Structure 1
Amino acid sequence: MNLNKQRAFIIHFFFFLILTLLVYVGIKYVFPLLMPFVVGIVIAMTFRNIIDMIEKKTHIKRVFVSLFILLVFYSLLGFIISIIGVKMINFISSLFYSLPSLYKETFLPAVQTVTDNMIQKYPSTKTYIDNFMNNIDQSLFDSLSKISTKVVGMATGLASQVPTILIKLIFTIVSSFFFTIDYYKITRFIIRQFREEQQKMIIKLKDNIIGSLGNFIKAYSAIISITFAELSIGFWILGIPTPFLFGLLIAIIDIMPILGTGAILLPWSIVALIMGNSKVGIGMLVLYIVITVVRQIIEPKIVGQQIGLYPIVTLILMYVGAQLMGVLGLLILPVTATILIKLNKEGSIHLFKI
Structure 2
Amino acid sequence: MNINKQRAFIIHFFYFLILILLVYVGIKYVFPLLMPFVIGIIIAMSFRNLIDLIAKKAHVKRVLVSIIILIVFYGLVGFIISLIGVKMVNFINSLFYSLPTLYKETLLPAFQTVTDNMIHKYPSTKSYLDSFMSNIDQSVFEYLTKISSKVVGMATGFASQVPTLLIKLIFTIVSSFFFTIDYYKITRFIIRQFREEHQKIIIKLKDNVIGSLGNFIKAYAAIITITFTELSIGFWIIGIPTPFLFGLLVAIIDIMPIIGTGAVLLPWSVIAFIMGNTKIGMGMLILYIVITVVRQIIEPKIVGQQIGLYPIITLVLMYVGAQLMGVLGLLILPIMATILIKLNKEGSIHLFKI
Deviation per CA, 1:283-330: give whole Å up to 9, x if none: 323433443454355434422321223444334333333332333223
Alignment coverage as a number of residue pairs? 354
Which residue matches 1:26? 26
Quote the Cα distance in structure 1 between the aligned partners of 2:7 and 2:294. Answer: 47
1:253 aligned onto 2:256: no
The one-letter amino acid paired with 2:21 is L
Number of the residue aligned with 1:283: 283
Matches within 5 A, 1:1-354: 1-257=1-257, 259-296=259-296, 298-354=298-354
**Could you list the per-position Cα deviations for residues 24-52 of structure 1 after superposition, in whole angstroms to 9, with x for gaps in the alignment?**
11111111111111001100111111111
Deviates more, 1:71-80 or 1:305-314: 305-314
Amino acid aligned to 1:336: M
Mapped contact 2:257–2:318 kept (Cα < 8 A): no
Could you tell me how far apart the structure 2 residues matched to 1:322 and 1:296 are? 22
Q: Distance in 2 between matches of 1:116 and 1:341?
A: 63
1:118-143 residue CA offsets vs partner (Å, 9 max, x unmatched): 22222222222221111111111000
Query: TM-score of the superposition, structure 2-length normalised?
Result: 0.93
Letter in 1 for 2:341: I
Distance 2:351 2:183 in 1: 33
Whole-angstrom CA distance in 1 between matches of 2:139 and 2:18: 52
Structure 2 gap segments, 5+ residues each: none
Q: Which amino acid in 2 is paired with 1:215?
A: N
**Change beyond 3 A, Cα 1:106–1:311:** closer
Distance 1:312 1:231 in 2: 24
Aligned partners of 1:219 and 1:302 also within 8 Å: yes
Residue deviations 1:130-180, cap 9 Å, x none? Answer: 211111111110000011111111111111111111111111111101111
8 Å contact from structure 2 (residues 45, 180) kept in 1: yes
Contact 2:232 2:243 in 1 (8 A): yes
Alpha-carbon distance in 1 for matches of 2:75, 2:309? 38
2 CA distance for matches of 1:330 and 1:99? 34
TM-score normalised per structure 1: 0.93
**Structure 2 residue identity aligned to 1:252:** I
Contact between 1:318 and 1:333, CA under 8 Å: does it hold in 2?
yes
* 321 and 261 in structure 1: CA distance in 2 versus 1, 3 angstrom threshold: same
2:178 and 2:80 mapped to 1: Cα distance?
Answer: 24
- The DSSP-based 3-state class of the residue aligned with 1:254 is helix
Other structure's SS at 1:177 match: helix
* Offset at residue 343 of structure 1 (A): 1.7
Kindly provide the CA deviation profile for residues 213-248 of structure 1, in whole angstroms up to 9, marking residues without a partner as x. Answer: 111111101111221122123212211122222212
Q: Show CA shifts across 1:180-215 (max 9, x none).
A: 111111111111111001111100100011111111
- Whether the aligned pair in 1 keeps the contact of 2:67 and 2:177 (CA below 8 Å) is yes
Q: CA deviation at 1:351?
A: 2.3
Q: CA 1:353–1:271 in structure 2 vs 1: closer, same or farther (change >3 Å)? A: closer
Question: How far apart, in 1, do the equivalents of 2:221 and 2:301 lie?
Answer: 14
- Equivalent residues of 1:236, 1:243 under 8 A apart: yes
**What is the deviation of 1:61?**
2.3
Matched position secondary structure for 1:167: helix
Q: Which runs of 5+ in 1 are unaligned?
A: none
Percent same amino acid at aligned positions? 84
More moved, 246-255 vs 263-272: 263-272
Secondary structure of 1:247 counterpart:
helix
- Worse-matched range after superposition: 165-174 or 120-129: 120-129
Partners of 2:257 and 2:315 within 8 A in 1: no
Q: Which range moved further: 175-184 or 338-347?
A: 338-347
**Aligned with 2:255: secondary structure?**
coil
| Amino acid of the structure 2 residue aligned with 1:65 | V
> Are the aligned partners of 1:215 and 1:307 in contact in 2 as well (CA < 8 Å)?
yes
The two structures, once aligned, show a CA RMSD in angstroms of 1.9
142-151 vs 318-327, which moves further: 318-327
Larger mean CA deviation between 107-116 and 280-289 belongs to: 280-289
